[in-house]
Structure 1
Amino acid sequence: MFEGNRVVAHTRARFPIFQSPMTWIARAPLVSAVSAAGGFGLLESTSRDLAMTTREFTAIRAATNAPFGVNLPVRYLKEDPAEERAIIDWLLQQKIHFVTTSAGDPGRYVRILKEAGVVVYHATATLYGAKKAVDAGVDGLIVEGAESAGVRNPEEVHSFALLQAVREAVDVPLVAAGGVVDGRGMAAAFALGAEGVTMGTRFVASVESPVHENYKRAIVAAPSAGTALIDNPPGARMRGLKTAYAEAVLKGEREQLPYKDIIDRLYVNGDVDGTSGAAGESSGLIREIKTAQQIIDDTISSFWSQIDRLAALRAPA
């Protein structure tokens, strides 16, 4: 179905659909469900807890034989060289075949990973970062538009323009991240030069997602302008749902909560109004909570329907 697709060749998954390696969320239940459904699950390691990563990795392998990968957040890991070395050594011992890097310069990892036969994709939100990563030797890029959830640079470019700019500049496979929840978005991303897509918020609102049902329902209920960008010092912003908490922070009426408190209050206990968890602009496109299998099946079906519709517009010879 995707013969010749470089992302499928690299990941060994059935479909070129990634699940974003979201902090706390992208662990065994969700990663294994996405991979078993034919997508490509990515285990997060942003928490920098090797015992947790090991536990979740083992649980994923026990749950499915399907391929999956691990994300390395450069900025956070390099704060502790011993910890950084430990997780790299651990990864190589697991004989993992695919790793994504994010939040920093992937150069410090690319050589050692590729020498061990690991495929490396780097997540970037800028054209400059894309070029730098390709120069460092990555095998592919995850191109994150400004509509994506989580920590964002105030000067980022949205997916429609960013994908085209990166595609013009490099020849490695691109995976589009930001604004994709179904086959329409996937077809659009492919038209702009991508060979795969990443979904984050769509999978947060899935049956297998570990977040509280209140948060899943809040994503489904979000309008098209239902997210807000809150300052995330020293020089970034965080995109999350536009809740009472978020609006109060934007007005300077209350202090921001530490992210670990948001995890506990929102993801665990379901306090939507008193927090604002990571959510992309795609929240406004999500209509119901589905299983990972339904999300992937519906996306692939809709993708080919859109491709057929576009092909039918071509005038007969």
Structure 2
Amino acid sequence: MSAAPFRNRLTEQLGITVPVLSAPMGWVARAPLVAAVSEAGGLGLVPGSLDLATIEADLAEVRSLTDRPFGVNIPIAFAQDPAIVGLIADAGVRFVTTSAGSPARFIEPLKEIGVTVFHVVPTLATAEKAIAAGVDGLVVEGSEGGGFKNPAEVSTMVLVPLLADRFDVPIVAAGGIADGRTMLAAMVLGAEGVQMGTRMLASRESSVHAAVKDAILGASEADTFMLNRTVGRPMRVLRTATSELADGQDVRPLLARITETYHDGDLDASLLQAGQVAGRIDSLETVAEILREAVASFDARLHELVRGRTVDA
């Protein structure tokens, strides 16, 4: 028995060989990273949170770097212009994830241009609304992942099987996923693929400054926390002097300086969004190495479980 090649609804829908998506991290998931994930058999996602000119340039660069499928994320609360749908059509993109709001107004125009749409959901209630709106699948995001989060704080371990039992659509698990072991766990819970964010941030193709990658490599499992847990929009970030002082405050001025952290390496200038899984990442690898090791580990762990059950039987 072999775990690879993978074949399920997700791989068939997206035309990929490894059911791994890269998180569409703004100012992190630039064209080299997105293309590298797709080239390695997964699916890279271009962040749609930036300005249209940057998104258009990223789409063109990704297309020049790979002929494999890739996608786009539309964060509805932050997308700066609905014309992004036109850019997606012009780039020939066939997969979109929507997030941070109701996908309802984007479903029809995206379906009209032949796009498969998954919506990012943090709770059962948001999943029910997304399914009712007509999405094709779900990215089920637990609270242990980095970035903006729902105040409900439901973990991946609880959320994935809950939604897998309720809805007959492909599920991508996000939050706490970094390798083959966690990918296997997600699939046992009912997912058909996974999304990696923090693991991809700490890759060689990631566009962030070396100081940011070093901060992830040096982090423990307890070095992130939920900023603004009870006010504003909660966000999981790396614990720094700046982030601790910002807790309970308006973080928009800090977010306006995000490139000073991600591009210049000033960890105190802004907020470094990262997941708890940073505590499990201790090496800087290429995307190809990350996916190759994930598949090998998935296969090895699955065989160990099967052999153990056979022996016990």
User: What is the rounded CA distance, in whole Å, between the counterparts of 1:314 and 1:270 in structure 2?
Assistant: 48
- Alignment match, 1:297: 292
User: What is the rounded CA distance, in whole Å, between the counterparts of 1:251 and 1:35 in structure 2?
Assistant: 38
Q: Which moved more, 1:168-177 or 1:236-245?
A: 236-245
Kept in 2, the 8 Å contact 1:131–1:169? The answer is no
- List per-residue Cα deviations over 1:85-139 (Å, max 9, x = no partner): x211222233311111111111111122223221111111111111211121111
The one of 7, 10, 14 equivalent to 2:10 is 7
Give the residue type in structure 1 aligned to 2:289. Answer: Q
Deviation of 1:260 after TM superposition, in Å, equals 2.2
- Alignment match, 2:57: 55
1:259 pairs with 2:255: yes
The one of 121, 125, 128 equivalent to 1:128 is 125
User: What is the rounded CA distance, in whole Å, between the counterparts of 2:85 and 2:58 in structure 1?
Assistant: 16
Secondary structure at 1:236's aligned position in 2?
Answer: coil
User: What is the rounded CA distance, in whole Å, between the counterparts of 1:92 and 1:122 in structure 2?
Assistant: 19
The one of 95, 99, 102 equivalent to 2:99 is 102
- Alignment match, 2:45: 42
User: What is the rounded CA distance, in whole Å, between the counterparts of 1:255 and 1:100 in structure 2?
Assistant: 25
- Alignment match, 2:72: 70
Secondary structure at 1:229's aligned position in 2?
Answer: strand
User: What is the rounded CA distance, in whole Å, between the counterparts of 1:199 and 1:136 in structure 2?
Assistant: 26
- Alignment match, 1:115: 112
- Alignment match, 1:33: 36
Deviation of 1:257 after TM superposition, in Å, equals 4.2
Give the residue type in structure 2 aligned to 1:43. Answer: V
CA RMSD of aligned residues (A): 1.9
Deviation of 1:315 after TM superposition, in Å, equals 3.4
- Alignment match, 2:194: 197
User: What is the rounded CA distance, in whole Å, between the counterparts of 1:185 and 1:267 in structure 2?
Assistant: 27
User: What is the rounded CA distance, in whole Å, between the counterparts of 2:95 and 2:269 in structure 1?
Assistant: 38
- Alignment match, 2:172: 175
Q: How does 1:73-84 map to 2 (within 5 A)?
A: 73-77=75-79, 83-84=81-82
Cα 1:120–1:272 shift into 2, 3 Å: same
Kept in 2, the 8 Å contact 1:244–1:274? The answer is no
Structure 2, unmatched stretches of 5+, are: none
- List per-residue Cα deviations over 1:230-259 (Å, max 9, x = no partner): 11896321111111222333498x977421
1:287 pairs with 2:289: no
Kept in 2, the 8 Å contact 1:152–1:239? The answer is yes
Give the residue type in structure 2 aligned to 1:20. Answer: A
Give the residue type in structure 2 aligned to 1:102. Answer: S
Q: How does 1:136-215 map to 2 (within 5 A)?
A: 136-215=133-212
Kept in 2, the 8 Å contact 1:249–1:256? The answer is no
Q: How many residues align?
A: 309
Cα 1:28–1:251 shift into 2, 3 Å: closer
Deviation of 1:274 after TM superposition, in Å, equals 4.8
Give the residue type in structure 2 aligned to 1:276. Answer: L
Give the residue type in structure 2 aligned to 1:311. Answer: V
Structure 1, unmatched stretches of 5+, are: none
Deviation of 1:276 after TM superposition, in Å, equals 2.9
The two structures have a TM-score, normalised by structure 2, of 0.93
User: What is the rounded CA distance, in whole Å, between the counterparts of 2:56 and 2:295 in structure 1?
Assistant: 32
- Alignment match, 1:310: 305
The one of 226, 235, 239 equivalent to 1:238 is 235
User: What is the rounded CA distance, in whole Å, between the counterparts of 2:253 and 2:298 in structure 1?
Assistant: 39
User: What is the rounded CA distance, in whole Å, between the counterparts of 2:77 and 2:55 in structure 1?
Assistant: 18
Secondary structure at 1:147's aligned position in 2?
Answer: coil
